Amino acid sequence: MNKEINFKIDGISVVAKKGETILTVARKNSIYIPTMCYISKTTPCASCRMCVVEASGMDGFVLSCNTPPVEGIEITTNSQALNHERTNIMKLYDVNHPLECGVCDKSGECDLQNKTLEFDVERQSFSARDQLRPLKKWGLIDYEPSLCIMCEKCVHVCNEVIGDDAIEIQLGGYKSTIVPKGSDVLDCTFCGECIAVCPVGALTSSGFKYRANAWELNRVPATCAHCSAGCPLEYETRHSSINGDDEIYRVKNNFEFTSLCGAGRFGFDFDNKAIKDESAFNSAIEALKEAKAIRFSSIITNEEAHILELLKDKLGIKLFNEDARVFAEFMKSYSSISGKLHHSGSLDAIKQSDAVIVIGSRIATDNPGVRYAMTTAAKHNGAKIVYAHPMEDALMQNVTTQMMKYEVGTEEGVMALLAHSILKDADLDDKERAFFEDLDFGYLYAETNIGEEEFSLMMKSFSRAKKRTLIIGNDLIAHERAANIAKLAALIEKYSDFSLVVVPREVNTLGVSLINSLDRDEDISNVVGYNAKGSFVISSLDGAHLAVPALNQQEGTVVSIDNRVLPTNVSLEFDGYILNDIARSFGIEKEETVEYTKELSKSAGFKEVAFDDLENFLSSMGEDNRGYLLDEVFCEANAELEELDDLPEFNGTIIYHCDPVLQFNNYTLKAQQLPKDNFLHGSAQFSVAARISDGDIVEISFGGRKIQRKFKLDDELKGTVALNPTFDISVDAGRYRFEKSKIARVM
Amino acid sequence: MHNEQIEEHFKNRNVTEIDSNYYMVDIAPYPTDGWGKFKRVLKRSFRGELFVGLWVVLREMIKFDTHTIKYPEEKMPIGPRYRAVHEMKRLWESDTERCIGCGLCEKICISNCIRIDTKLDENSRKEVTEYSINLGRCIFCGYCAEVCPELAITHGGEYENASDQREHYIMYQDMLTPLDKMKAGTQLEFEGFGAVTPHEDERVKKTPLAY
């Protein structure tokens, strides 16, 4: 089936693969065909008709964006007739388009502006009766219908890439407009992708509106600091007022090929401001001399992690980071079966999959990048998506083909059953085969609450799949039986065609787990916190004893879910001290933090590449040329599966530590534009079980802690598990995310 | 001139040899001995040339018809294209400010002396919240007026901007045409580069309307 099609565009011989359209082949061969509505990451909208070309032996024009070539055809992309057609299209786009380019947010980067000039539309010969089209305010997004050219890009990305399916076209000829789907107000995850793809100024960011123009902003390419998807973005900076310092005005992304979630797009103002405070610096040095350990978060760069490791050796202290430690432990167990350090999958692998299992994660909020990849797979490849989790997620309903609802705490059993169904016919060795044969299936089906027929249904729907991916979430990584779960995951990857993606919790959990040798966290005094709590706190958050720069004020690298080492750059200056200054006063001498980039552990897969030699761009065809992929490192694989433990039972009022959309951590909490939904979300069933009602202030006791929250009754939830946000409190990241809790009504 | 010729010029500094248009000015030889120098002193002292100059001064004093402008009481008329301290114009139709806050002047400013800040106002319009020009840095090149799409920022004739500070700023409010002047219809248009040319009305093409 992989037949190649030879044909000619403008006399140049080109080759198309199966499934490629004339436009994609032209673009691949650097032949220009103008488009207005085409966007590479979605199916063609085919609404603009700018991409028309002439084909030999055919009357009229063909749309190059959705027409595959046939053998030997000759395509002409440019002729007088085509130019006339395109000019007329541009004229029609310009009918009644408000002449407000001077104030429009899009001016300077507007497709309509560019193409109007390109096709030299200097005289309008069409007219239409204009009508009242009032501005719509949709929260973080503003919609100006009079500027809208109905290219439908926004609808396509929302549906095909993001999966919110929140907007649609209200058809009505010249009156057509974009409306929220099924309601008056826009109810979506506010990823803002529609703003990004809008070729004109119709969809704009309400927080940015009229504050600056494209030509006034400096672009700093960086990597998003909020989750492990490692999305590329550009911080756009400019002075804040007449005498003000620089500030970030907005975030943009290469929307042609990549996507951003709302936290990445709107949560950019988490930078830290400080000046050099020598006394604080000296007390930080003193605190470190006294310290028994450094506790740090994974929201740091690889270089910082490396410096912390050097400090550990120099001072002979311990390093605490539970989040990275459990991840490292998980991957260690994984390696002990798979014989290699890194998981095989990536976001691209998910996008190309036609069968996906995601287990142990509320993935839409844990890692939107994975969610978008899954949406892309579902919409473009018709992928079958199995969503295994104790709770339904309304955000995943659009793409999930099979919900596999298991009991809280039984992840080990679920993984064993999954492995059993997937590896039924696999070439396992005797011991492994014996493990599966010894399983007490009756007990497992009963305790996990997943029937045998659910697994056979899954396998049936996967039967024709060619590219399959297993996505492992944090519930499994932080599980008590994580070691055995990791081995089961490794077994699936080893003996089946499944590629494996283990979702790291924070932006650089993966990097830290590779660089640092971590110790189990102990509740001892004299712990210096680095972006974490401690007796002396060095942090880029508020309330620190010594301020250090946040991730958008640093250069360095992070390791993403794709095992890719991604560079990030300084978008805003930081005037205070940095970790390297502290290291230098302990005799760990390097002028710049990024000098450590090429010293990162080779045994973990890092390459000896200097920071300044790292590339950071996407090619014009969308290939990711950011940083480099970690080298695969092979290790001994001599571990065996352990016998399954008794599956635990979770009864009563259970809370699940899970952030709402647009929130990830204390940094997104700092961002002005992001909503701070810090309610305890529970179902009606939960409210009955906990004897609380909507709006109550409740005290939640879990794992020796007590916090107060307002309770919110959530129609979209079912069952007796409530969602407890963690972005405004710090929760021990090494703990299993479901917790037995006591809920008491305070008022 | 060809390159070789230019090079020739640089190599051979004796201009008389290359170009015959040069000639020596006819100057009497300087005296070399003491007697000659003494004679020159006597000649220069008693020739009466001093009084020629004194007479010219005296004549102009009593004529009361001087060409000297008594600045600062008197000032020269300034050409309409003169580029002095900037002005912010208002619209003739509505008296509102012409500036739309596009920021092009800030962008094009080669001495980086313009700063502008805008925001969305209550009426969903773009409002210029802050605008300043550092006249200490401004080189009065006129690019800001040239790039302005609205003919809002222009140059005026006000050139007296001496200040006791290098950083001498002018704010938006000071540049803006005062309302009373606007109401009186005495706002002057800048006629320099970028201004509306005469007969502009005849060149405007109409946009078709369906009603």
d(CA A653, CA A553): 42
Work out the average pLDDT over A531-552.
94
Q: What tokens does B177 get?
A: 């045409």
Tell me how close the Cα of A554 comes to any Cα of chain B, in angstroms: 27
Q: Which residues of A210-237 are buried (b: 16+ CB within 10 A; e: fewer)?
A: bbbbbebbeebbbbbbbbbbbbbbbbbb
Q: Is A500 helix (H, G, I), strand (E, B) or coil?
A: strand
Work out the average pLDDT over A419-442.
92
Q: Cβ B101–A210 below 8 Å, yes or no?
A: yes
Q: Which chain A residue has its CA at the smallest distance from B131's CA?
A: A242
Question: Which chain A residues touch B209 with a CB distance below 8 Å?
Answer: 127
Query: Looking at the partner chain, which of B103, B124, B205 has a beta carbon nearest the beta carbon of A135?
Result: B124
Work out the average pLDDT over A453-475.
95
Q: Cβ A210–B127 below 8 Å, yes or no?
A: yes
pLDDT at A62 (0 to 100)? 94
Residues in A 197-226 with any Cβ partner in B closer than 8 A? 209-213, 215-216
Q: Cβ A135–B101 below 8 Å, yes or no?
A: no
Asked if residue A300 has pLDDT above 70, the reply is: yes
If pLDDT is split at 50, 70 and 90, which confidence band does B3 have? low
Tell me how close the Cα of A128 comes to any Cα of chain B, in angstroms: 5
Q: What tokens does A706 get?
A: 């007590």
Q: Cβ A211–B118 below 8 Å, yes or no?
A: yes
Query: Looking at the partner chain, which of A126, A209, A216 has a beta carbon nearest the beta carbon of B103?
Result: A216
Q: Cβ A242–B117 below 8 Å, yes or no?
A: yes
Q: Which residues pair with A502 in a beta bridge?
A: A472
Q: What tokens does A293 get?
A: 């350990």
Question: Which chain B residues touch A209 with a CB distance below 8 Å?
Answer: 120
Work out the average pLDDT over A433-449.
94
Is the pLDDT higher at A320 or at B167?
Answer: A320
Q: Does A103 touch chain B (CB under 8 A)?
A: yes
Using alpha carbons only, what angle is made at residue A635 by residues A633 and A640, rounded to the nearest 5 degrees?
Answer: 135
Query: At how many degrees (to 10) do helices A441-448 and A411-422 cross?
Result: 120
d(CA A594, CA A209): 36
Q: How many Cβ atoms from other residues are within 10 Å of residue A76's Cβ?
A: 16
pLDDT tens-digit series, residues A145-160:
999 999 999 999 999 9
Question: Which chain B residues touch A216 with a CB distance below 8 Å?
Answer: 103, 106-107
Helices of type H across chain B: 3-11, 15-18, 34-46, 49-63, 104-108, 143-147, 172-175, 179-183, 200-203
Provide the Cα torsion A298, A189, A139, A656; round to 10°. -60
pLDDT tens-digit series, residues A371-380:
999 999 999 9
Question: Which chain B residues touch A107 with a CB distance below 8 Å?
Answer: 102
Tell me how close the Cα of A551 comes to any Cα of chain B, in angstroms: 27
Among residues A504, A493, A506, A502, which one has the least CA distance to residue A472? A502
Q: What tokens does A116 get?
A: 């109007």
pLDDT at B16 (0 to 100)? 63
Determine whether domain B86-196 maps to CATH 3.30.70.3270.
yes
Q: Where are the domains of chain B?
A: 1-68, 86-196
Asked if residue B8 has pLDDT above 70, the reply is: no
Q: What tokens does B201 get?
A: 């009305």
Question: Which chain B residues touch A130 with a CB distance below 8 Å?
Answer: 210
Q: How many Cβ atoms from other residues are within 10 Å of residue A706's Cβ?
A: 11
Is the pLDDT higher at A486 or at A733?
Answer: A486
d(CA A230, CA A253): 12
Q: Cβ A103–B132 below 8 Å, yes or no?
A: no
Question: Which chain A residues touch B167 with a CB distance below 8 Å?
Answer: none
pLDDT tens-digit series, residues A572-621:
999 999 999 999 999 998 999 999 999 999 999 999 999 999 999 999 89
Q: Does A617 touch chain B (CB under 8 A)?
A: no
pLDDT tens-digit series, residues B111-162:
999 999 999 999 888 999 999 999 999 999 999 999 998 899 999 888 888 8
**H or E, element range at A490:** helix A482-495
d(CA B60, CA B58): 6
pLDDT tens-digit series, residues A467-497:
999 999 999 999 999 999 999 999 999 999 9
Among residues A112, A109, A100, A66, which one has the least CA distance to residue A196? A109
The B-side interface with A (CB below 8 A) comprises 100-104, 106-107, 115, 117-120, 124-127, 129-130, 132, 149-150, 205, 207-211
Query: Cα A79 vs. chain centroid, distance in angstroms?
Result: 43
pLDDT at B1 (0 to 100)? 45
Question: Which chain A residues touch B115 with a CB distance below 8 Å?
Answer: 239, 242
pLDDT at B15 (0 to 100)? 64
Q: Are B113 and B167 in contact (CB under 8 A)?
A: no
Question: Which chain A residues touch B117 with a CB distance below 8 Å?
Answer: 240-242
pLDDT at B11 (0 to 100)? 67
d(CA B44, CA B48): 8
| Strands A564-568 and A141-143, bridge-based pairing | unpaired
Tell me how close the Cα of A196 comes to any Cα of chain B, in angstroms: 20
Q: Cβ A124–B208 below 8 Å, yes or no?
A: yes
Q: What does the radius of gyration of chain A's CA atoms come to, in whole angstroms? A: 27
Provide the Cα torsion B44, B45, B47, B50; round to 10°. 100
Work out the average pLDDT over A709-727.
92
How many contacts (CB atoms, under 8 Å) link A and B? 53
Question: Which chain A residues touch B210 with a CB distance below 8 Å?
Answer: 127-130
Q: What does DSSP assign to residue A578?
A: -
Q: How many Cβ atoms from other residues are within 10 Å of residue B114's Cβ?
A: 23
**Which of A95, A211, A238 is the best residue to mutate to test the B interface, defined by the most B CB atoms within 10 Å of its own CB?**
A211
Sign of CA dihedral A50, A54, A60, A63: negative
**Which of B122, B134, B207, B211 is the best residue to mutate to test the A interface, defined by the most A CB atoms within 10 Å of its own CB?**
B207
pLDDT at A28 (0 to 100)? 93
Q: Are A421 and A441 in contact (CB under 8 A)?
A: no
d(CA B96, CA B183): 11
Q: Does A130 touch chain B (CB under 8 A)?
A: yes
* Percentage above 90 pLDDT, chain A: 89
Q: Which chain B residue has its CA at the smallest distance from A207's CA?
A: B120
**Which of A105, A126, A242 is the best residue to mutate to test the B interface, defined by the most B CB atoms within 10 Å of its own CB?**
A242
Residue A187 vs residues A139, A140, A182, A546: alpha-carbon distances, Å: 10, 11, 9, 41
At A530, give phi and psi (nearest 5°). Answer: -115, 105
If pLDDT is split at 50, 70 and 90, which confidence band does A89 have? very high
pLDDT at B9 (0 to 100)? 59
| Strands A203-205 and A141-143, bridge-based pairing | antiparallel
Q: Tell me, what amino acid is at A513?
A: S
Residues in A 161-200 with any Cβ partner in B closer than 8 A? none
Query: Looking at the partner chain, which of B101, B107, B117 has a beta carbon nearest the beta carbon of A241?
Result: B117
Residue A643 vs residues A135, A257, A306, A424: alpha-carbon distances, Å: 62, 45, 37, 18
pLDDT tens-digit series, residues A235-266:
999 998 888 899 999 999 999 999 999 999 99
Tell me how close the Cα of A107 comes to any Cα of chain B, in angstroms: 9
d(CA A65, CA A55): 13
Helices of type H across A555-645: 579-585
Q: Is A199 helix (H, G, I), strand (E, B) or coil?
A: coil
**H or E, element range at A369:** helix A368-381
d(CA A730, CA B37): 100
Q: Are A368 and A229 in contact (CB under 8 A)?
A: yes
Tell me how close the Cα of B208 comes to any Cα of chain A, in angstroms: 6
Tell me how close the Cα of B7 comes to any Cα of chain A, in angstroms: 45
Among residues A137, A47, A45, A40, which one has the least CA distance to residue A93? A47
Domains of chain A, earliest start first: 5-78 (3.10.20.740), 331-502 (3.40.228.10), 654-745 (2.40.40.20)
**Which of A96, A97, A103 is the best residue to mutate to test the B interface, defined by the most B CB atoms within 10 Å of its own CB?**
A103
pLDDT tens-digit series, residues B30-89:
888 999 999 989 988 888 888 888 999 898 888 877 778 888 898 888 888 889 999 999
Of A399-408, A425-434, A558-567, least confident by mean pLDDT is: A425-434
Work out the average pLDDT over A635-644.
91
Q: Are A673 and A727 in contact (CB under 8 A)?
A: no
Among residues A508, A574, A579, which one has the least CA distance to residue A538? A579
Q: Which residues pair with A501 in a beta bridge?
A: A471
Q: Are A572 and A237 in contact (CB under 8 A)?
A: yes
Q: Does A464 touch chain B (CB under 8 A)?
A: no
Q: What does DSSP assign to residue A712?
A: E
d(CA A500, CA A563): 12
Query: Looking at the partner chain, which of A215, A240, A241 has a beta carbon nearest the beta carbon of B103?
Result: A215
d(CA A103, CA A110): 12
Q: Cβ B101–A103 below 8 Å, yes or no?
A: yes
Q: Cβ A215–B104 below 8 Å, yes or no?
A: yes
Asked if residue A364 has pLDDT above 90, the reply is: yes
Query: Looking at the partner chain, which of A123, A135, A216 has a beta carbon nearest the beta carbon of B106?
Result: A216
Q: Cβ A242–B150 below 8 Å, yes or no?
A: no
Q: What is the mean pLDDT of chain A?
A: 94
Q: Are A561 and A229 in contact (CB under 8 A)?
A: yes
Work out the average pLDDT over A119-146.
91
Q: At CB < 8 A and 24+ separation, what contacts does B89-93 make?
A: B89/B151, B89/B152, B89/B153, B89/B154, B89/B177, B89/B187, B89/B189, B89/B190, B90/B176, B90/B177, B90/B179, B90/B182, B90/B187, B92/B187
ipTM over 0.90: no
Q: Are A477 and A323 in contact (CB under 8 A)?
A: no
Q: Which chain A residue has its CA at the smallest distance from B150's CA?
A: A102
Q: Does A640 touch chain B (CB under 8 A)?
A: no
Q: Does A107 touch chain B (CB under 8 A)?
A: yes
Side-chain-side CA neighbours of A705 within 13 Å: the count stands at 12
Question: Which chain A residues touch B118 with a CB distance below 8 Å?
Answer: 210-212
Q: Cβ A123–B132 below 8 Å, yes or no?
A: no
Sign of CA dihedral A443, A448, A449, A452: negative
Q: Are A251 and A235 in contact (CB under 8 A)?
A: yes
Query: Looking at the partner chain, which of B106, B120, B207 has a beta carbon nearest the beta carbon of A210?
Result: B120
Q: What tokens does A316 get?
A: 């002979």
Q: What tokens does A622 get?
A: 């969308």
Query: Looking at the partner chain, which of B120, B130, B210 has a beta carbon nearest the beta carbon of A128?
Result: B210
Query: Looking at the partner chain, which of B115, B149, B211 has a beta carbon nearest the beta carbon of A102?
Result: B149
